[in-house]
Structure 1
Amino acid sequence: MAARRVTDMKSLSAALHSAREGSGEVRRVLLSASFRPRLPGLTKMVSKLSKEGAYRKGLEVYYTLPDLNITPDTAITNSAISACDKGGQWQSALEIFASMEVLLLRRDAITYSSIISALAKGKQWATALEVFDDMQARGVEADVVTCCSLISALERGGQWQLAEQLFVQMTHPGAGPHPFALSCGRFTSPGCQPA
């Protein structure tokens, strides 16, 4: 990578896009910047890189935070878990999720949705269910995205009855399923079975 002067978020973004994944260039770019990037900008950068398919670079940004003397917050940690999800790295997502306890970071609905989605892609239905139970025990309200991710995890793990039970819980008594529940897997009505 040709050396380029990194003086602001725009030039940082360009330099990170040019950096080779896994080569240490992402870390070098961040540490050699002539300005100190702030956490909100880095959070957006992790998210942007992940959405562009460069999730590894996003994770490199996240893992470089201690070298920048920046303590991660819930938002950037959620972005890192989401990057793991997009990259199919459920083990890394679980490690980052566990680190939130050590860092005393509050886990929110986005945190739980992201980790459960990563676990679903990794066919880790039992762990996804444990995470969902932890969410409920901590009083974090599950949203439709979280429930859909859990249904997907259960479905991919062959746990049709548990998935159906969760789907039924997402319905309004006497009013049919929540409109978003219809997009959660193959479940279009209670009593459905795998094809």
Structure 2
Amino acid sequence: MHDGWAPYRKYDCRHGLCNAHHLRELTLVHEQYGQRWAKNMIDLLVAANRGVANGPFTKDRIAQMSADYTAILTKGDAIHPVKKRKDGTAHRRQSYPTNLLRRLREHTGDVLRFLSDQEVPFTNNLTEQAVRMPKVKQKISGCFRTFDGAAAFCTIRSYLETLRKQRIDLLQALVQSFRGETPDPAMGY
């Protein structure tokens, strides 16, 4: 599960694309370019995500969602055709909506993977959130001074994030830790 960065394609595995990224891009296309097809795609993806939350889709339901997805892309293609050179090849530079449409079409299976594989989430936002704090720290201070400092920072952040996900009061957990009574996330403290 990733955001579509091209180097990830070098990994020999099945891919899933993060639909939170797609929703943000589709919202931009809808709001900035006034494109109705983008709003329709947002509605389709959100409805599909809600639908799979209630259990896996049948093959017929997946086929219908895929057909609706393709129909929306076709509407978008009609508004944003690929710009061609005189020799018939595609221009290197295309509009933002055209590039988004191309990506959504070329990687349909990866965009809709969450429909057929329950192990694939709709989004990878939880993963990105886990990486965000170290990146913010690195941007503010420029770097970690030592590997041991970076490892300690990551250990503390990981521990606190685990407690937060278990809805444990972080301030209380830190107070207990400084008293030598470190809460064990596995025990639910």
More contact order relative to length (CA 8 Å, sep ≥ 6): 2
Of the two, which has the highest radius of gyration?
2
Taking structure 2 as the reference length, the TM-score comes to 0.27
Taking structure 1 as the reference length, the TM-score comes to 0.27
